[in-house]
Amino acid sequence: MSLLVLGIETSCDETSAAVLEAPRRLRSHVILSQDAHRVFGGVVPELAARTHLRTLDRVVATALEEARVRGSDLDLVAVTAGPGLVGALLVGVVWAKTAAWAWGKPVIGVHHMEAHLFATELEHPEAQPPFVALLVSGGHTMLLFVPRWGEYELLGQTRDDAAGEAFDKAAKLLGLGYPGGPEIERLAAQGDPTRVRLPRPLLHGPPEDRYDFSFSGLKTALRGKAQAAQARGAWETERPHLAAAFQAAVVDILVEKTCRAVADTGCRRVVLGGGVANSRALRTALRERLGDGELYAPSPRLSTDNAAMVARAGAFRFATLGESSGLDLVARADLPFPGLRRRAPVPA
């Protein structure tokens, strides 16, 4: 018997709802991206929460209409409970609990990053554990080994900015819009990455740096180069090279650390997740380095925030692990990743 799940995602600036016939048949999927943040150069938390509040009703109603189901037909309501912006999360969590209660259905709170991990599997049924996962979003950068669903061994994570956040900040420095990743990618296509030298922080350090990431120094180095170009009156001609060099540095770091994880675990299947997985430069470089290893990445629609992945992760927790949340489910900005533990370090 199939499981009909309503997924709800409001952790940041996308208001999204999806109806999934688990495991992988997507009956409907609505994503409303809040464009208003563009003019502020980043997400304004209060504005995000207020917009979710205004639109979530219609977004869910549309998802149900498009899937031709009523609330009473559902088996489960899955909602992102964290991590994310607490006001934004709260809108989704309260909505999901209220609807589940009214329909007499179970509700489950989902971890946003576990959902990103499931996004790829929705389109690529072969993207099953064991695999090495690189989760790169606006809020997180994590390198994991996944022996089976629900068990996540943390190899490394960022010590400061997330990869997506680094792209967003670099874009701002280069006078580009938000979100920064796609803008940098566009400008970088006209530039030559070898024209500007940027560092690769934590790439060749002691064993404790083997898998961790740090992007804030890279951003500072970019600022220095940008200021120097401006002082020389070479701003317009240098900008594409600066964008290309920055993108190349981030990609180099992500690819190298992921390949280390592949070598150390002996697992040649890699799954990408999160908005930065959209980067063509990242995918191309990883595919090249992995050779005949397997690489699975979500399509653009499923790589950034969406409710389909939330429904999929919720279905797994509910059907496979037998979990559900009570009506005391709360939104948590710092929700711990379920099943996450540090993997024992490998000798250098």
Q: Which residues bind Zn ion (CB under 5 A)?
A: 137, 305
114 binds ligand KG4 (CB under 6 A): no
179 binds ligand KG4 (CB under 6 A): yes
| Stretch touching ligand KG4 by CB under 6 A, among 33-41, 144-152, 179-187, 291-299 | 179-187
Q: What is the DSSP string of 240-299?
A: HHHHHHHHHHHHHHHHHHHHHHHHHH---EEEEESGGGG-HHHHHHHHHHHTTSEEE---
Strand ranges of the sheet holding 340-342, from the earlier edge strand across to the other edge: 294-296, 269-273, 131-136, 141-148, 151-157, 340-342
Q: Name which of 328 and 334 has its Cβ closer to Zn ion.
A: 334
Q: Name which of 37 and 105 has its Cβ closer to ligand KG4.
A: 37
> Among 51, 80, 265, 279, which residue interacts with ligand KG4 (rule: CB under 6 A)?
279
> Among 9, 121, 161, 185, which residue interacts with ligand KG4 (rule: CB under 6 A)?
185
258 binds ligand KG4 (CB under 6 A): no
Residue matched to tokens 């064993």:
207
Contact mark string toward ligand KG4, 144..173, x via CB under 6 A:
--------------------xx-xx-----
The whole-angstrom separation of Cα 133 and Cα 153 is 10
> Among 109, 156, 181, 193, which residue interacts with ligand KG4 (rule: CB under 6 A)?
181
Q: Name which of 120 and 278 has its Cβ closer to ligand KG4.
A: 278
Q: Name which of 45 and 199 has its Cβ closer to Zn ion.
A: 45
**SS3 category, 10:** coil
The whole-angstrom separation of Cα 219 and Cα 198 is 9
Q: Which does 168 bind (CB under 5 to 8 A by kind): Zn ion, ligand KG4, none?
A: ligand KG4
9 binds ligand KG4 (CB under 6 A): no
Residue matched to tokens 């120094």:
217
The whole-angstrom separation of Cα 14 and Cα 308 is 12
Q: Which does 185 bind (CB under 5 to 8 A by kind): ligand KG4, Zn ion, none?
A: ligand KG4
According to DSSP, residue 314 is labeled: H
> Among 278, 296, 316, 318, which residue interacts with ligand KG4 (rule: CB under 6 A)?
278
CA distances from 25 to 58, 64, 125, 265 (A): 22, 14, 11, 32
- Closest distance of CB 85 from ligand KG4, Å: 10
211 binds ligand KG4 (CB under 6 A): no
Count of residues engaged in binding ligand KG4, rule: CB under 6 A: 20
Q: Which does 276 bind (CB under 5 to 8 A by kind): Zn ion, ligand KG4, none?
A: ligand KG4
The gap from C-alpha 216 to its chain's centroid, in whole angstroms, comes to 19
- List the one residue out of 48, 49, 42, 113 whose CA is nearest residue 81: 113
The whole-angstrom separation of Cα 24 and Cα 124 is 10
12 binds ligand KG4 (CB under 6 A): yes
**SS3 category, 44:** coil
- Closest distance of CB 16 from ligand KG4, Å: 10
Q: Which does 167 bind (CB under 5 to 8 A by kind): Zn ion, ligand KG4, none?
A: ligand KG4
- Closest distance of CB 342 from ligand KG4, Å: 22
Q: What is the SS3 assignment for 172-235?
A: HHCCCCCCHHHHHHHHHCCCCHHHCCCCCCCCCCCHHHCCCECCHHHHHHHHHHHHHHHHCCCH
- Closest distance of CB 110 from ligand KG4, Å: 13
Site of interaction with ligand KG4 (CB under 6 A): 12, 137-139, 164-165, 167-168, 179-182, 185, 274-276, 278-279, 304-305
